[in-house]
Structure 1
Amino acid sequence: MDDSEFLASYDPRAFPAVAVTVDVVALTIREGALHVLLVERGEQPHAGRWALPGGFIRPDEDLPEAAARELAEETGLAPRVHIEQLASYGAPGRDPRMRIVSVSYLAFAPRLPDPRAGSDAADAAWRRIDRLPELAFDHDRILGEGLERARAKLEYTPLATTFVDETFTITELRGVYETVWGVPLHAGNFHRKVLSVPGFVEGTGQTTESGGTRGGPRARLYRAGDARLLHPALLRPAREGEAG
């Protein structure tokens, strides 16, 4: 039997129906605090509760395309963010409608605008990580694992540079680490460590226009380098045994 004969006799209805969705953990830093993008569900199940943006994939699209589309449709945000796959979740009963497997994604970007609700979302908003309601479905678990992934990736990848503008100061970069990790870092030690990692950042030859509110010297501006992994890694203070 060749492929055409097999497909002609194949009946997908012989197997239990399983749907595939995508959910997006979108993170940004606003007013010095880490925020996640949430939508208020406008339809059942869990109408009125907050959840991660997401939805069912379409028959003609790949998973990353579905994640970007859902992010745009439910929040009005254009898919101009760094996005990567996080994990898959398929526990029976995680969704009351049917057996649904969700593929989750992480998205990062600096200074993202206020979202606007669309599609089947009643509202959309950036919410501080430390001031969240209980989320619908198993989204608390997905968010928690997304946060841990982001915090770990700051140690060994240049992920922090996706939270700042194209050019930035070392102080601004340190602010990303402090916000995502939730701990203060020694300014001098951090500066030394960043510049000791080959390819992490590169100087632009430019400085800030002023020295800040205290009138100090103007700060040097940097851009992301070409490193994909940080060696040596910038370990979290809890793992180093010191705050810095």
Structure 2
Amino acid sequence: MSIHSFYENAPKHLVAVDCIIFGFEDGKLKLLIMKRKVDPMAGAWSLVGGFVQDNESTDEAAARVLKQTTGMDHIYMDQLHTYGDVNRDTGARVISVTYYALIRIKEHDRILANDHGAHWLSLHQIPPLIFDHSVMLQHALDKLRDKAHTYPVGFELLPEKFTLPQLRNLYEEIYQRELDKRNFRKKILAMNILEKLDEKDKSSSKKGAHLYKFDEAKYEQLMKTGFGFTM
């Protein structure tokens, strides 16, 4: 049997990418989900996804789906898992590769997202999702929490300028537990990866809270010392 005929006789399956897109807004960790437009299960809530085209890799397909839905390039994105149960999709045999992505909600194209039927919902508002998408979401949350211990993922979700209470609030949302204010402040400042600005956020009090920026150069230097980021 020639190689050509071997491939011709091999089973053919569809390959999809599903993106678990996290954002942070109004003190809440949120997920971008959409109403499915096609059968099966048209009208049900779904993760953002699509099929891998003939001329692209799974990474390229995920980047395309993110761009089409949010209007954003160069998003923090990481491949998560492959889901291949035979009956996972009731429409056909579909193998799905998942990616979780972190974006700054204020920087994405809301009109574009709305045109795709996509909505931001906090983790406590997530309705039942199609197929195995709820399992995908849980795996992504587990990965995000694990990653947050050793990599400063929070800075991918916050605006460029932020306060320490906002940063702590974000990590409380990621871990879904309260963090000690004093210990958090002491620990994050001791890493010396933040730049304190001569600006304050006075939206919550007259005195205001100092604004900070993430210093990527200092973070890279910290990594070279072997200490790394530990939250």
Q: Could you tell me the TM-score, scaled by structure 1's length?
A: 0.81
Runs of 4+ in 1 over 6 A off after TM superposition: none
Distance 2:74 2:214 in 1: 19
Distance 1:232 1:31 in 2: 26
CA contact (8 A) 1:87 1:103 kept: yes
2:194 aligned residue (187, 195, 202): 202
Instruction: Indicate whether 1:159 and 2:150 are aligned.
Output: no
Q: How does 1:1-244 map to 2 (within 5 A)?
A: 7=3, 9-73=4-68, 75-112=69-106, 113=108, 114=110, 115-118=113-116, 123-197=117-191, 201-204=193-196, 206-209=197-200, 213-216=204-207, 219-225=210-216, 226-227=219-220, 231=228, 233-234=230-231
Distance 1:189 1:144, change over 3 A: same
Q: Secondary structure at 2:125's aligned position in 1? A: coil
Q: Secondary structure at 1:219's aligned position in 2? A: strand
Give the Å deviation of 1:110: 1.9
Superposed CA offset, 1:125-174 (max 9, x none):
11121111110010000001101111121111111111112233322211
Distance 1:100 1:25, change over 3 A: same
Superposed CA offset, 1:192-236 (max 9, x none):
1112236xx2325x22245553333651523143346974622xx
CA contact (8 A) 1:156 1:230 kept: no
Give the Å deviation of 1:15: 1.4
Q: Which has the higher helix share?
A: 2
CA-based RMSD: 2.3
Distance 1:58 1:143 in 2: 24
Q: Could you tell me the TM-score, scaled by structure 2's length?
A: 0.85
Give the Å deviation of 1:11: 4.0
- Structure 2 counterpart of 1:35, which letter? K
Distance 1:185 1:95 in 2: 40
Q: How many positions carry a matched residue from both structures?
A: 221
Give the Å deviation of 1:180: 1.6
> What residue ranges of structure 1 are gaps of 5+ in the alignment?
235-244
> What residue ranges of structure 2 are gaps of 5+ in the alignment?
none
Q: Secondary structure at 2:88's aligned position in 1? A: coil
Match of 1:242 in 2: none
Give the Å deviation of 1:188: 1.4
Distance 1:45 1:212 in 2: 46
